[in-house]
A and B are shown apart, each in its own frame.
Chain A
């Protein structure tokens, strides 16, 4: 199976780019914005101002490229925990993401105009749900699509198979994006599965499976755009395998030196999706170092103001523990609520 690629490892276009110059600039900005968030989130975590945080460094293009094809108030995003970049690009406010990784309930609910479900922690459980969300769009007469993300380890879960089977049987407008980043915490892909390519698994469900260079934004964006258009036309789901690499640890609590070599990470750092995209823009004469510096300043200002906004959110109250369990508080929750109110 071929891997879809538009940029070489240094960012030089290998063929005609199916995106406008304007789109390329939007894409690069989205990548930089994601990276900035990730870097600063890790700093906040080290300062004790975030809980455990799962960084995505190295996987920006795989997430951003898909999210750029979706409309937040129309389409649906069901991400797992490593998809802050997708969430951010899809339209989740930075302050909400910060609150979310602070485990503050104020960050758990997406704004009404953003159809993003709170990050899923269990692996692959959101795929049957995404199939249901997608099928519902057809029943409701909408042309919206759902996009769901997992990692390579997630393809071993039963719900991956059940979800893909449901999506395919019901011809649901769904994108299943697997970021094949080589590792499920410490378990390498070759111990996860015997097939060479995750995209091959699509054959088992009678749907298209595409492998794309996940560190090539142009490639991911093009492939996802085509899959979204297919889905909107009612032609069913697509499985996208984005070949990428988690340069960062699994979470802020993980030590990857126990299971992988620095050389491997170094090799992938050279294929950094941001570097490749920047080189592409430089090659096309669309970008300069001055613009780069300006963008960094802008992103830092945006981030700082979001942190301030998050810091302004009131502390979660003890009695919120039993709120939003049912629409109407039931007697047992009410009793607990009364108790917790009395304590405070």
Chain B
């Protein structure tokens, strides 16, 4: 059905803007709020023009306080609204961790379903665009360790739009992390009108037989680039975009490992305790017999993300490091 629709070429920010616009139009319970999301339209312009269109009751600026924003959203959601909060950068989520860990994820459980939090928290994450300290953090592993939330990290405009609309419809809290590098760095055909894509599905974005690259968000682009380089040498890599970390589509990733027998996990957060460790563990637990080489992780180093670029390219995984890992699993 979506395939039959008219499409336009949009970048990720435009796709987000369109999704928010459609959600606000479709469901009067939806409210969009955060720092600078109103008049300014968000630091990345994701909510551009929406306050003018829907008014200050539906799209509003808040005080500069992340715990307040998340807590306020929890309250709005419990009372029957569909809040979509923007945290200016995922690295600014830390002041809100008490709200996230103590309540956002567990309110349904601790009230036996009496109160639920159908809330979306959008936050730009990840590096590659020369930002100051904290602006390039990838805190997804912290979020995936919170029971009761979902974590979605899309990598293309078409997916971003459909997944964001699905996240807003979802009855549970969803973190929607948007790779800053992809905001304007990728463009793609995006179907017109309202459509949703199911959460909890990984997708094979490039088929191959030599090894599987597991990635998400900003690393999909990097892995696709590595796969192109490898293809020139006759090595066909499979690239799997996990897309939803929680709930994780284990089936798709195991099927890929069963097919290729080799796995490289790529993520830009620091290596230790990162979500890639979870992927590696799942593969080891459930598909060890198919593996022809140890699983290799390509990740950020165990250090804070370096600000202002000079050395950022040495921290953030690139195609070269991915290919080194591929060589390792192929020559084991």
Contact = CB atoms under 8 A, between A and B. Distances in A.
A157 B166 CA distance: 35
Given A163-B71, A166-B63, A139 B111 contact: no
A125 B99 contact: yes
Interface in A132-157: 132-137, 139-140, 146
Interface residues of A, number: 42
Nearest to B199: A330
A173 to B, nearest CB: 12
Given A108-B111, A166-B72, A331 B79 contact: no
Nearest to B247: A330
Contacts of A137: 79
B81 A331 contact: no
Interface residues of B, number: 45
Interface in B151-172: 171-172
Contacts of A127: 71
Given A330-B247, A332-B247, A131 B75 contact: yes
Judged by DSSP, the binding face of A is helix
B57 interface: yes
A313 to B, nearest CB: 12
B328 interface: no
Nearest to A148: B75
B200 interface: yes
Contacts of B250: 331
A53 interface: no
Contacts of B98: 122, 125, 159
B288 interface: no
B171 A327 contact: yes
Given A129-B71, A129-B78, A110 B111 contact: yes
B116 interface: yes
A163 B115 CA distance: 20
B53 interface: no
Contacts of A108: 110-112, 114
A125 B200 CA distance: 30
A133 B79 contact: yes
Interface of B: 31, 57, 62-63, 65, 67-68, 70-81, 83, 95, 98-99, 102-103, 107-116, 147-148, 150, 171-172, 200, 246-248, 250
Pairs A-B, 3 closest by C-beta atoms: A132-B75, A128-B71, A136-B79
30 contacts: A105-B112, A109-B111, A110-B111, A117-B107, A118-B114, A125-B102, A125-B103, A126-B103, A129-B78, A131-B72, A132-B72, A133-B79, A136-B76, A139-B31, A140-B79, A140-B81, A159-B68, A163-B68, A165-B63, A165-B65, A166-B68, A324-B108, A324-B109, A325-B147, A326-B108, A326-B171, A326-B172, A327-B113, A327-B171, A331-B200
